[in-house]
Amino acid sequence: MKTIVGLEIHVQLATATKLFCGCSTDYRDDEPNTHCCPVCLGLPGALPRLNRKAVEYGLRVAKALEMEVPEESEFARKNYFYPDLPKAYQITQYDKPLAIAGTVEIEDDEGHEKNVRITRVHLEEDPGRLVHVAGGSKYSLVDYNRSGIPLLEIVTEPDMRSPQEARRFLNKLRTILEYLGVFDGDREGSLRVDANISLEGSERVEVKNISSYKGVEKALTFEVTRQKNLLRRGQTVTRETRHFMEGRGITTSARGKEEEHDYRYFPEPDLRPLRVAGWVAEIDLPELPVARKNRFMVQYGISLNHARTLTGDPKLADFYEEVAHVDPVLAATWVADTLLGELNYRDMSIAAVPADRIAELLALLGSETITDKAGVQVLREMLDACARGRPCERPAAIVEREGLARATGGEFTQVVQTVIAANPQAVEDYRTGKKGALNFLVGQVMKETRGRADPRELGRIVSECLETGGV
Amino acid sequence: MAGTLDFSPDDRYNAFITTCLEVPFGDGALAGTAVAVKDNISTTGIRTTCGSRILEDYVPPYDAHVVELLREKGAAIVGKTNMDEFGMGTTTETSAFGPVRNPVDPTRVPGGSSGGSAAAVAAGFVPMALGTDTGGSIRCPAAFCGIVGLKPTYGRVSRYGLVAYANSLEQIGPMARTVEDASRLMSVIARYDPRDSTMLDRPYDHRPSADIAGLRIGIPEEYFGEGVDPRVAETVRDAIGILEGLGADTVPVSIPGMRHALAAYYVICTSEASSNLARFDGVRYGPAVDTRKTWHEAYQELRHERFGAEVRRRIMLGTFALSAGYAGRYYAKAQVARRNIRQDFERALRDADIIAGPTMPTVAFRLGEKTDPLSMYLSDILTVPANLAGIPAISVPCGRVDGLPVGLQLMGRQFEDERVVDAAFAYEQEVGA
Amino acid sequence: MVSESDIEHIAELADIGISKDEVPEFTTQFNAILDYFEVLDTVQGESAPAAGITNVFREDEPRPCLSQEAALANAGSTENGFIKAPRVM
C-alpha cells in the first residue's frame, strides 16, 4: 500500500522587521505585546506597508528551487475569526502567488535521488500567539509580538512516499533556506508544517500545525499506522483535519469543525500588486549545499560522508572552513564526528563555539602534543565552559593545568609496575595466552594516567615488562 | 501666533460627537483656524467612534496623517463630527449618537455620511471641516446643507488613520463654506504619505482661478434622467449655463456603465466593509468581549449588541457577495463593471475637460423619510460613479428648490482636482458677485 | 433569492449575531437588494486586470513600537501584559 505525503511548510523569514510594519522581529525573549504598533495590532485606520526584503527573500527561495515567477502577483485577504488574528483576516497570497512550479532533490528510501515538486511559494503574515492558561481557565491570553512576522509558505506536490522521505525533504529544504540566509532554523517556532497524508486509494488526512522537524516524521508515522490499522479492521479512513499532540506523539481529530471554512478571499485593497519577475535575474545565489559538498571533497580531500555532514548546516560548513587550514582531514573527523556529537549531547549550537580555540586544539592533536583521548577531554572542558557562558580557555592552558601533555611510555614505568603487581590474575592469563589480558592491563594504566599516553605505545611497554618478568 | 481657541458652540443640530473646549494651536497656514474632523479619522487622545457604539470609548494612540498635517499647520481641531455609523448611510441617521439635523431646515437630514461635518460648517460653527467620501459622503451632505465639498482623486490624500469602510473607494476631503477655503484645506491635507501604499506623490498646491474660458464641460445624459427630480435637473442646467456664460463649452457625453454603477458600488463597498469591520471583536479595543464564552459565541453577542442594523446588513451583504458560490456572480462581476465605468469616464474625459451634473437626484429628505434600505441606496446613484472611477468630484451650491439647497457636481480627470476646483470657484465667484 | 436559513448561515459566517425575530425582515430586505443586484448579470467583459501603480515597498528598517501600556490601553481586559480573549478550546 503506497503512502502519499504532501507538505505545506511555513517558515519565518529572517528579516529585521515585520512583513507590513517596522516592528522588530526579534521578539523571542521580550515581554508580551512590546513589539507591536497600530499596523500589527490591527488598530482601526492603520495600513500595511510591504517589506521589500521579504519579497527579495521569497524570490531568492524561488530561484534556488528553480521556480517560475509570474509577471504579476498580488496579496489577498483570507477572512476568518480567531483571537490571535488581529484584523480577522490574514494578508496572504491566493490565486496570484509569488512563484510556482519548482523542485527539491532528495534521496528516496532506497538511497536514489528523486525530485519533490514544489507547487508554489507565497508570502503571508504570521498571526499572534495564543497562550492557553493552565488549570481549566475559561479564557485565552494573546501576545501580538509574533503578529505580522513574514512567513513564506512552501507547498509541495504529494511526491513523498514515507515519513522518512518527508523528514529528509524538510532537512534538505531547511539547509537550502539557511544557505540562502533567509531563515534561522534555531529560532523557536520558526518552522511549522501542515502535512497531507493518504494511503493509496484511501481518503486524505491533513495533520495541522506540526512545529518541529522530528514532529513531522513522528506525526506521519503515527498516521500511517493508524490508517493501516483502520483498513486492516475493514474500516475506512475519513477525510478530515487532525491535530498533532507533540507531547504524546499522536494525532487527534479536529472533528470536522475546521473544514467548514469559507475564507472569502479577495485582493487586498490596501496594497498594490507586485511585478518582480524581472528581479530574479539579478539575484546572486550563494553556493548551495550540493555544490559546496562537492567542493569540500575536491578542495579538502575529505570523504563523502564527512562532506555531506559538514555541509548539512551552513554554519557548520563555515565553521569547518575556518579550522580546516590546520589539517583538513583531521579537522573533518574532529568537527563532523567528535565535535558534532558533543554538541548534540549538550544541545548546543555550533554558533556558541569559538573556531580559533578549536583550531588550536586541532594543532595540538596534529603535532601529537596530546593524544586523541586527551583531546576529547580538553574539548569537553571547553564546551562545558561555553555552555555555561564562561570564557573559553585556550586548549594549551587546559593541557598545562590538567597535565595532559602526551607522555612517552617510559614515564609510566612506576604505574606499569604497580598495575602488574596488583593484577596477578591478569598476568597469569597473559602468560597462558589470553590476549584480552594485555588490553585489560593497558586499560588500567590508561585509567591511572588519564589518557596521556598513546595506547599502542603503552601496549608495547606493558608486554615488554610482562615478557621480561619485570622491569 | 500660537495660542488657545475656546470652542463652545450651541450644537443644536447634533453635529458633534465630541467637542474640545479649549484647543491649543500652533503656527502655520491654518493657525488658529477651527477645523472639525469627522469621527472616523484617528486623533491621538480624542476618542474616535465612527458613530458606533462598538468604538464609543476607543481612544487612538496615533494621529491620522491628515490630522498630523492639520496640527503642523496650526489648525485647532475643535471636535469630532457626527456621522452615519462607519459611514454607512446617506442621511446621518444611522449614527449611534443620534441623527444630525440640517441647519438649513432642522426637519430635514443633512445628508450623509459626513452630515456632522456639513452641519458644523453650514451652521457656522467652523469655517472648514474634514469629511470622508466612499460613495458620496462628502458631496451629498455638502449639497444638502448648501456648502462646498471635494472628494479628491483616489490616492491624493493619505488614508492612514482613516477607519476603513471601503478601502478601494474612499478618500478624505475638505468641506467648507467657500471653494477657496475648501481649496486651502485641500492644500494642507494632500501631502504624500508613504504609509498609504495606494497613494501617489502628487501634492495639491493650488490657488483657485476663475478663468475657465474654453473649458469643455461634458454633460452626461445619465445624470439628468430617470429618478432625478426635474426641478433639481433644471437648477443644475441653469448653473451650467452660467459656466457657459463664463466661456466654457458644453459637449454631450455618455457613461453607459452607469446602469451597473450602483449595484457594483454596493457589492464592492459591502464586500470590503465585511472584511474591514471583522476586527471589531472586543479583544484589542472596544467594549470588553465576554472571555468566558467561546470566541464565535462571544463575538456574535458583542457584534449583535454593538453594531446598528444598517452596519449589520451591509456586513452580511458583503459576506454573502464574497462567499463560496456567489463571489463570481457578485464580487467578480462588480469589478468588471467598475473597470467598464472607469473606461467610460476616461473616454468621456477625452472629449471633455470636466463633467457636470447634479450631486444628488433630490433635495434633502425629511428626517425619518427613508426607511427602506434599497430606496436609500438608490439616492447615491449620481455620486458613486466618481468613487468607482477614482476621479475628483466637487459639489458646489447652485441654487435652491423648495428653499432647500441643490449641489452642482463637477468631476474631472484623475489628479486634475485643480480643474474641478477652478470650475467650482468660477461658478461661485460669478453667482456670489 | 436567499432563504431565512441562508441569512442565518451568512450571519454565522460574519460572526454578526442575529436573533430569530430579525431573520424574516433581513431576508426580505436582502432579497429586494439582491433583486436589484441582478443587473450585474448583464455586465459585459472579462475579469479586470489590476491597473495602476505596482511594487510599492518600504525598506527593512526597524521603527519604534508602541509601549506595552499603549498597546494594551484600549483592550477590554489584560493579564500580565497579555490581552485576554475568549477561549478557543
Flag if A272 and B159 touch (Cβ within 8 Å).
Answer: no
**Backbone phi and psi for residue B309, each to the nearest 5 degrees, phi listed first:** -60, -40
The answer as to whether B336 is a domain residue is: no
Flag if B332 and C47 touch (Cβ within 8 Å).
Answer: yes
Q: Grade residue B38 by pLDDT with cuts at 50, 70 and 90.
A: very high
B77 and B90 belong to one structural domain: yes
Is residue B36 within 8 A of residue B117, CB to CB? The reply is yes
Which residues in chain A touch residue C61, judged by CB atoms under 8 angstroms apart?
A: 16-17, 22
B310 and B254 belong to one structural domain: no
What are the pLDDT digits (tens) for C47-72? 766 678 999 999 999 999 999 999 99
Alpha carbons A468 and A453: distance in angstroms, whole number: 22
CA neighbor of A188 nearest in space, from A142, A159, A145: A145
Flag if B59 and C10 touch (Cβ within 8 Å).
Answer: no
The last residue of one of the domains, among B297, B331, B365, is B331
Identify the chains in contact with B, defined as 3+ C-beta pairs within 8 A. A, C
What is the model's pLDDT at position A364? Answer: 82
Given a cut of 90, whether residue A152 has pLDDT beyond it is: yes
Mean of pLDDT values over A398-414: 74
Q: Which domain holds residue B320?
A: 260-331
Other Cβ atoms within 10 Å of B241 Cβ, number: 11
Q: Percentage of residues in chain C with pLDDT exceeding 90?
A: 74
B69 and B136 belong to one structural domain: yes
Distances from the Cα of B112 to the Cαs of A76, B87, B379, in angstroms?
A: 30, 8, 11
Q: Grade residue A378 by pLDDT with cuts at 50, 70 and 90.
A: confident
Distance from CA of C41 to the nearest CA of A (A): 20
Is the pLDDT higher at C58 or at A256? C58
Which residues in chain B touch residue C18, judged by CB atoms under 8 angstroms apart?
A: 304, 312
* E strand residue ranges, B152-229: 171-176, 216-220
Q: Beta strand B354-358 with B216-220: parallel, antiparallel or unpaired?
A: parallel
Given a cut of 90, whether residue B158 has pLDDT beyond it is: yes
Which residues of B are part of the catalytic machinery?
38, 113, 137
What is the model's pLDDT at position B337? Answer: 95
Is the domain defined by A409-467 classed in CATH 1.10.10.410?
yes
- Closest chain A residue to the Cα of B58, Cα to Cα: A44
Given a cut of 80, whether residue A358 has pLDDT beyond it is: yes
Considering only CB atoms, B163 lies closest to which of A44, A50, A77, namely: A44
B392 and B422 belong to one structural domain: yes
CA neighbor of B271 nearest in space, from A332, A372, A76: A76
Which residues in chain B touch residue C5, judged by CB atoms under 8 angstroms apart?
A: none
Flag if A47 and B272 touch (Cβ within 8 Å).
Answer: no
Is residue B152 within 8 A of residue B190, CB to CB? The reply is yes
What is the model's pLDDT at position A428? Answer: 81
Question: A66-75, A387-396, B422-431 — which is least confidently predicted?
Answer: A387-396
The answer as to whether B340 is a domain residue is: no
Distance from CA of C32 to the nearest CA of A (A): 23
**Helices assigned H by DSSP within B139-245:** 139-145, 179-189, 230-245
Q: Grade residue B319 by pLDDT with cuts at 50, 70 and 90.
A: very high
Distance from CA of A281 to the nearest CA of B (A): 26
The last residue of one of the domains, among B275, B297, B331, is B331
What integer best gives the mean pLDDT of chain A? 88
* Touching B: A residues 44-63, CB under 8 Å: 44-50
Mean of pLDDT values over B163-187: 98
Which residues in chain C touch residue B85, judged by CB atoms under 8 angstroms apart?
A: none
Number of domains forming the structure of chain B: 2
Locate the domains of chain A by residue range: 3-282, 289-402, 409-467
What integer best gives the mean pLDDT of chain B? 96
Flag if A45 and B160 touch (Cβ within 8 Å).
Answer: yes
Q: Grade residue A377 by pLDDT with cuts at 50, 70 and 90.
A: confident
Q: Which 3 state secondary structure label does DSSP give A248? A: coil
Contacts 24+ apart (CB under 8 A), A256-264: A258/A208, A261/A80, A262/B323, A262/B324, A262/C13, A263/A78, A263/A79, A263/A80, A264/A77, A264/A79, A264/B274, A264/B275, A264/B319, A264/B322, A264/B323, A264/B324, A264/B327, A264/C13
B319 and B362 belong to one structural domain: no
Alpha carbons B5 and B172: distance in angstroms, whole number: 24
Q: Does A345 touch chain B (CB under 8 A)?
A: no
What is the model's pLDDT at position A408? Answer: 66
Written as one string, the DSSP assignment of B345-376 is: HHHHHHH-SEEEEESSSSSPPBTT---SHHHH
Q: Does A270 touch chain B (CB under 8 A)?
A: yes
Half-sphere exposure at residue A27, Cβ-oriented, CA atoms within 13 angstroms: 28
Alpha carbons B332 and C47: distance in angstroms, whole number: 7
Mean of pLDDT values over B60-74: 96
What is the model's pLDDT at position C11? Answer: 94
Is the peptide bond between B113 and the residue preceding it cis, with omega within 30 degrees of 0? Answer: yes
Flag if A31 and C81 touch (Cβ within 8 Å).
Answer: yes
What is the model's pLDDT at position A256? Answer: 56
Flag if B266 and C37 touch (Cβ within 8 Å).
Answer: yes
The answer as to whether B301 is a domain residue is: yes
Written as one string, the DSSP assignment of B392-432 is: -EEEEEEEEETTEEEEEEEEESTT-HHHHHHHHHHHHHHHH
Is residue B150 within 8 A of residue B195, CB to CB? The reply is no
Is residue B248 within 8 A of residue B217, CB to CB? The reply is yes
Grid cell of B87 as nine digits: 459611514
Mean of pLDDT values over C28-39: 94
* Run of H or E including C86: strand C82-86
Which residues in chain C touch residue A94, judged by CB atoms under 8 angstroms apart?
A: none
B209 and B187 belong to one structural domain: yes
B196 and B210 belong to one structural domain: yes
Given a cut of 60, whether residue A259 has pLDDT beyond it is: no
3-state DSSP percent of chain C in helix, strand and coil, to 5? 45, 10, 45
pTM attached to this predicted model: 0.87
What are the pLDDT digits (tens) for A25-61? 998 889 999 999 999 999 999 999 999 999 999 999 9
Given a cut of 70, whether residue A258 has pLDDT beyond it is: no
Other Cβ atoms within 10 Å of B230 Cβ, number: 9
Mean of pLDDT values over A318-345: 90
B310 and B265 belong to one structural domain: yes
- Residue A80 exposed, middle or buried by CB count within 10 Å (0-12, 13-18, 19+): middle
Given a cut of 60, whether residue A125 has pLDDT beyond it is: yes
Chain A and chain B share a number of CB contacts under 8 A equal to 106
Is residue B164 within 8 A of residue A45, CB to CB? The reply is yes
Most confident of A252-266, A412-426, B136-150, C14-28: B136-150
Locate the domains of chain C by residue range: 4-42
Given a cut of 80, whether residue A450 has pLDDT beyond it is: no
What is the model's pLDDT at position A452? Answer: 74
Q: Which 3 state secondary structure label does DSSP give C54? A: coil
What is the model's pLDDT at position A402? Answer: 79
Flag if C37 and B263 touch (Cβ within 8 Å).
Answer: yes
B186 and B326 belong to one structural domain: no
CA neighbor of A152 nearest in space, from A182, A190, A121, A180: A121
Q: Does C15 touch chain A (CB under 8 A)?
A: yes
- Closest chain B residue to the Cα of C67, Cα to Cα: B61
- Closest chain C residue to the Cα of B305, Cα to Cα: C17
What integer best gives the mean pLDDT of chain C? 91
What single DSSP character describes residue B290?
Answer: -
What is the model's pLDDT at position A409? Answer: 58
> Residue written as cell 455586465?
C43
> Residue written as cell 474641478?
B420
Which residues in chain A touch residue B67, judged by CB atoms under 8 angstroms apart?
A: none
* Touching C: A residues 126-165, CB under 8 Å: 130-132, 137-144
- Residue B162 belongs to domain with CATH number: 3.90.1300.10
Q: At what angle do helices B309-322 and B258-276 cross, to 10 degrees?
A: 100
Given a cut of 60, whether residue A334 has pLDDT beyond it is: yes
Interface test with A, best of C56, C60, C74, C88 (most A CBs within 10 A): C60
Mean of pLDDT values over B11-38: 95
Flag if A16 and C61 touch (Cβ within 8 Å).
Answer: yes
Is residue A8 within 8 A of residue A166, CB to CB? The reply is no
What are the pLDDT digits (tens) for B162-172? 999 999 999 99
CA neighbor of A61 nearest in space, from A122, A16, A142, A145: A122
Flag if B331 and A42 touch (Cβ within 8 Å).
Answer: no
Considering only CB atoms, A81 lies closest to which of B41, B299, B323, namely: B299
- Closest chain B residue to the Cα of C48, Cα to Cα: B336
What is the model's pLDDT at position A471? Answer: 41
Given a cut of 90, whether residue A14 has pLDDT beyond it is: yes
Q: Does B415 touch chain C (CB under 8 A)?
A: no
**Backbone phi and psi for residue B253, each to the nearest 5 degrees, phi listed first:** -130, 170
> Residue written as cell 596477578?
A424
